[in-house]
Structures are given as structure tokens and as C-alpha cells.
Amino acid sequence: MSSAILLIAHGSRRAEANADLVKLAELLRPLVSDSIIEIAYLELAEPSIPDGLQRCVERGATTIRILPYFLSAGSHVTDDLRQFQTDFNASHPGVTCQLSPPLGLHAGVIAALADRLREDL
């Protein structure tokens, strides 16, 4: 495999919150079986984003897509994640690293919210 996806979440002091990203990666793997999937956290949890990117490279990735598990394009996505991407690209000229947009107003997010509203509480 030469392509990888690095799922990024903010990170939390609560282990159960961080476990969601691990579960998301497990659920996503069969849907994108042609790509390496790694996880990383912006802060408060490990692995860090540089560590996650490095793991992708160690597993043979020549193209990495950073996929933020964030709802909006706040400063973490537009500034922090962009800086990680820029720094990685500068130090790994043989690897292409791209930053995907946050979940935002994607139709799937809207559908998921509508599903939540239909659930019994």
C-alpha cells in the first residue's frame, strides 16, 4: 500500500473520548482497504500528529491524506493542521501529504444529525 489516511481528532483527557477515534479507524478500514489507516491527536493524547505521520511513512505510504475528525474549519484545522502538513512536506520531500476539509456541512453529517433527532431519548 502506498497511500495512507491519518485520522485526526482533538484529543481528550478522557480515555473513552479518545477511544472513539480508534473505533472510527476500525470501522473505516474495510471501506478503504487499499489505504493504510493511522490515528493521531492534536493534543492531550497520543499518538501525536508527527508520530502518526511518521507511522504512515514507516508502513510504506508515499501519499498521506490528513482527515480531520472535526466539524468546522476553526483555527485547529486552518492553522494547526495546515502547519503540521507544511512541516511534514518540508521534511519529507518524497511523500505527498494533503489536508482534507473538516466534516462541516457534508450531507452525511446533516443526515446523521437528522437521524439523531429521530432517536428516542
CB 15 within 8 A of CB 59: no
CB 20 within 8 A of CB 38: no
Rounded Cα distance between 19 and 53, Å, is 19
- Active-site residue, selected from the candidate residues 10, 76, 92, 106: 10
Separation in Å, CA 35 to CA 7, 20, 75, 84, 119: 12, 20, 28, 21, 33
Q: Is 10 a catalytic residue?
A: yes
Angle at 71 between CA 66 and CA 3, to 5 degrees: 15
Q: Which residues are catalytic?
A: 10
